[in-house]
Amino acid sequence: MSCVEFVQVALRERISPPSYGSTKARIRHASRQLGWSANRTKDAWYADPRISISADELRQIERKTGLRYAQEELRTNEDLISKASALLVGHEADFYSAFFAALRSLARPDHRS
């Protein structure tokens, strides 16, 4: 998931969910919540590929929504997998290889970004 797609999901699902009414009203609400211009919010809402999200804007979205950009979660999962593999290498490889494959499949879901 790109940064722009992350912001789009955060805007549509957390900052201005469908309960706020029409799309126009939701964009207006998101614009007010974030202090962004209407055009900037609209571009982020529709994930315009020409925009780039600054680090400050991303942190602002994370603070407002409580979401974390997916790269942090991916790094955490990779760290856990590498630590687990370091523990399992060398001791009864036949048993642990199946266990490690199961652990890896749990930590790496198919729908990750």
Instruction: Write the DSSP string, 53-80.
Output: --HHHHHHHHHHH----HHHHHHHHHHH
The DSSP 8-state label assigned to residue 90 in this structure reads T
Per-residue pLDDT tens listing for the chain (113 residues):
688 988 999 999 999 999 999 999 999 999 999 999 999 999 999 999 999 999 899 889 988 888 776 556 666 777 777 777 776 666 655 666 677 777 777 766 654 55
Cα–Cα dist 15/18, whole Å: 10
pTM of the model: 0.60
Maximum Cα–Cα distance across the chain:
61
Let me know how long the chain is: 113
- Please choose, from the candidates 47, 53, 56, 39, the residue with its C-alpha nearest in 3D space to the C-alpha of residue 12: 47
pLDDT at residue 81, rounded to an integer = 75
Q: Can you state the angle between helices 23-34 and 55-65, rounded to 10 degrees?
A: 110
Domain locations in the chain as residue ranges: 3-68, 71-107
